Amino acid sequence: MSETQNKPKLSFWQIWNMSFGFLGIQFGFALQGGFMSRIFQTLGADKETIPLLWIAAPLTGLIVQPIVGYLSDRTWHPKFGRRRPFFLIGAILSTIALFFAPYSSALWIAAGSLWVLDASINISMEPFRALVADKLPDSQRSYGFVVQTLIIGIGTWIASNLPWLMTQIGIPNTAEPGVVPDTVKFAFAVGAVVLFSSILYTILTTEEYPPADLESFEKEKKESRGFFTGFKEIFRNIANMPEVMRKLGLVQFFSWFAFFTMWSFATPAITEHVFHATDTSSVEYNNAADSVGNYLGTYGLVSMFFALILAFVTSKVKINRKLVHMFSLIAGGCGFILIYFIREPWMLHLCFALVGIAWASILSMPYAMLSSSVNPNQMGVYMGIFNMFIVIPQIVAAIGGINFMYKLLFGEEVIFTMLLAGTSLIIAGLCNLLITNRAATHDG
């Protein structure tokens, strides 16, 4: 009997508690993804340079994630567990970064704040992914990752709407040129509080399983200790990654290229194409930017409901993960493409509803497929390595991939970035057809 088969099934609320910290993590990501480009523009960044200002974040993730995963695999404390120490470290650093990011007085400070924020969130994020695989038998993996996605959807929707909500209660959403509006500052402060408190809740309510053979675990850790030994082991795991992981990597590349394009360009593209607002210090632009945050919140809200449906389905029947992921990504691609053709702003809700279906699947199905394909004792490091397929497309996009591709394929207008995002997401969906391992594509 395998290790995953020996694990007891957990209730919905046990899975909810151990995943609740993702509410705060997603607050951080949603505020970062929805409003850092707005902060960059407020501080004088040109639309063409925005992706470059984002580059430090994925570069950091490329380095941090495998190291954190490797270290968490080798960590065990009778009281604090394996993954929870990394939750706490990431929470403290992320909270500090969220508080100070909107007070940046220059572009280089804002870019540095984004770098620190992304690195700090990464310290917590992949250990959360690994925790689901640590705690759940294979038959509950899809269910567990979908519950995480449900929590992420709630966080995305609330966080994306925070600046709009602040405006509704009377907080100014405009400021002097070069100064970030108070609505954004208050939203980031709320995000910091939610991030820390939600991760602390998971730490206090979740226990972890010790290694199956603690004596062998300590012996192996002692024999493989050392800085360079760790790096060699990480590179060895990269070279020997399972075939399923390589194929999923292709799906991830096009998926995350699409979403990085959205995070970088949704605000300038939609404020210009739909609302015809280009002056970043004007009331019209800031109202439009608040509205974009509201529409972005739709994809979080829909991802929440889609995850809720998937949670119900996966708790009752076994699913084909590959087909669910393929059709979800294609739906999201169509949503991005439709942004170019809409005539009324309210239609953006329909576009981002389709994007939300893709987002729910991106945050659950690849991890369910991966966790059924790797050694349970190396779950953390492989979750960290898998992050390479998230950050590499972001790096490619940031160093000119977006600007080159949308102009080459579609034209000069910034709205064409959404057509590029849609095309990339549809390609990602079709790449799922390459995955043929039944253990990965079907629930155990």
CA dihedral 26→30→32→36, nearest 10 degrees, is: -170
List where CATH 1.20.1250.20 sits in the chain.
10-207, 230-443
pLDDT of residue 349: 92
| Cα 438–chain centre separation | 26
Length of the chain in terms of residues written: 444
Question: Of 89 and 374, which is predicted with more confidence?
Answer: 89
Dist. CA 267–CA 212, nearest whole Å: 49
pLDDT over 60 (residue 60):
yes
How many Cβ atoms are within 10 Å of 388's Cβ, its own excluded? 20
Calculate the CA 190 to chain-centre distance.
Answer: 19
Average pLDDT, integer, range 371-387: 78
- Overall pTM surpassing 0.85 (yes/no): no
How many CA atoms are closer than 13 Å to the CA of 64, on its beta-carbon side? 23
- Could you read off the pLDDT of 122-178 as tens digits, one per residue? 888 878 888 887 888 877 877 888 888 888 878 877 887 777 788 888 888 777 877
Q: Architecture of domain 10-207 in CATH?
A: Up-down Bundle (1.20)
Between CA 265 and CA 159 the distance in angstroms is: 18
pLDDT in tens, 196-233: 999 999 999 988 888 777 777 777 777 667 666 777 77
Residue with tokens 């009377």: 170
* pLDDT tens, residue by residue, 328-351: 999 999 999 999 998 788 899 999
Q: How many whole angstroms separate alpha carbon 230 and alpha carbon 311?
A: 37
Mean of all residue pLDDT scores within the chain: 84
Give, in words, the CATH class of 230-443.
Answer: mainly alpha
Q: What is the pLDDT of residues 176-196, one digit of tens each?
A: 877 888 888 888 899 899 999
CB-side exposure of 188: number of CA atoms within 13 Å? Answer: 26
Phi/psi for 81 (5° steps) reads: 80, -155
Using CA atoms, how far residue 234 sits from 1, 19, 68, 243, in Å, is 28, 26, 11, 17
How many Cβ atoms from other residues are within 10 Å of residue 49's Cβ?
A: 13
CA distances from 245 to 240, 252, 285, 389 (A): 10, 10, 43, 10
On the question of pLDDT at 418 being above 90, the answer is yes
pLDDT > 60? residue 38 = yes
Instruction: Name the 3-class secondary structure at 180.
Output: coil
